[in-house]
């Protein structure tokens, strides 16, 4: 199986967006018609990468199903093994306009201290992977928001096809 | 003894220390459910006796077996049908 990784800083000009009180999608993995296939996320990591706010606060993280791409920067998906073909999954990062989310489509949520980071992992190949459907522009978005922390965040995801 | 239905591991790196928990992914809705040590089993969800898989508390309340794979198939079939009609 081919393994890939993507993050919201893996682009020539990532254009990270500062967090705000509304969710901002940091990384979205979606299928594309030309290369339609499912993606199975087996690991993701999230954390803040700017100076913590002087007032201690929380960042709320979320992975939710999305049915559009929104407006963001094209992320680069890298192969874990260079012998594998390029990924058919599209990574869009650091959105300036939010994608459409599916009602009650949250797959994971966490409220953590602004100085905390989090990692989730299952065996590649499953069971337990988060699935990106093979439907054009439909996918999973890793989002973050905070009432007080106004810096940027880094998220990464590793998936197989 | 680790249970086979606990498929994932979550680690939270806090300023005050590291917290780890096992996780499982709901077979009906694909949500990640954390299983901390000594967690109350009643709050973790349940076991679907139709598909024989672990499910999250929200899916337990539905009382139905709706495996996520079936939802994916419906979603993808609907998309392919719309495409065949030229609706993208």
Q: Residue A135 is nearest to which of B7, B25, B76, comparing CB atoms?
A: B76
| CB-based contact A117 B13, cutoff 8 Å | yes
User: Taking a C-beta distance cutoff of 8 angstroms, is the pair A23, A143 a contact?
Assistant: yes
Q: Residue B13 is nearest to which of A107, A116, A130, comparing CB atoms?
A: A116
- Rounded to an integer, the average pLDDT of A83-95 is 94
| Distance from the first to the final alpha carbon of chain A | 7
Q: What percent of chain A has pLDDT over 90?
A: 88
Residue A55: per-residue pLDDT:
96
Interface pTM, i.e. ipTM: 0.89
User: B1 falls in which pLDDT band (50, 70, 90)?
Assistant: very low
Residue B4: per-residue pLDDT:
76
| CB-based contact A135 B13, cutoff 8 Å | no
Instruction: Chain A: give the shortest CA distance to residue B78, in Å.
Output: 9
| CB-based contact B10 A33, cutoff 8 Å | no
* A vs B: CB pairs below 8 A: 73
Single out the residue of A156, A108, A158, A150 nearest to residue A24, CA to CA.
A150
- The pLDDT tens digits for A42-78 are 999 999 999 999 999 999 999 999 999 899 999 999 9
pTM of the complete model: 0.93
Q: Residue A108 is nearest to which of B32, B68, B72, comparing CB atoms?
A: B32
Question: Residue B7: its chain A contacts at CB < 8 A?
Answer: 122-123, 126-128
Instruction: Chain B: give the shortest CA distance to residue A73, in Å.
Output: 23
- Rounded to an integer, the average pLDDT of B37-65 is 92
Q: Residue B30 is nearest to which of A33, A107, A116, comparing CB atoms?
A: A107
At residue B88, does pLDDT exceed 80? no
Higher pLDDT, A5 or A33: A5
């Amino acid at each position: 199986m081919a393994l890939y990784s993507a993050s919201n800083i893996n682009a020539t000009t990532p254009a990270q967006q500062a967090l705000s009180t509304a969710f901002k999608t940091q990384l979205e993995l979606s299928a594309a018609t030309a290369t339609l296939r499912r993606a199975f996320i087996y690991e993701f990591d999230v954390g803040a990468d700017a100076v913590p706010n002087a007032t201690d606060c929380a960042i709320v993280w979320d992975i939710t199903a999305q049915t559009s791409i929104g407006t963001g920067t094209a992320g680069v998906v890298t192969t874990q093994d260079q012998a594998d073909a390029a990924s058919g999954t599209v990574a869009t990062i650091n959105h300036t306009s939010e994608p459409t989310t599916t009602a009650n489509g949250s797959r994971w949520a966490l409220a953590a201290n602004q100085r905390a980071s989090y990692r989730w992992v299952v065996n590649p190949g499953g069971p337990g992977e988060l699935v990106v459907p093979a439907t054009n522009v439909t996918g999973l978005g890793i989002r973050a928001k905070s009432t007080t922390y106004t810096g940027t965040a880094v998220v990464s995801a590793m998936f197989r096809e | 003894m680790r249970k086979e239905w606990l498929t994932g591991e979550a680690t939270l790196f806090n300023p005050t220390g590291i917290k780890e928990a096992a996780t499982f992914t709901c077979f009906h809705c694909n949500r990640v459910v954390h299983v901390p040590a000594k967690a109350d089993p009643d709050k973790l969800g349940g076991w679907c006796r139709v598909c024989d898989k672990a499910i999250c508390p929200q899916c337990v309340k539905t009382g139905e077996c709706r495996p996520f794979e079936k939802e994916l198939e419906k979603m993808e079939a609907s998309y392919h049908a719309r495409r065949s009609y030229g609706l993208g």
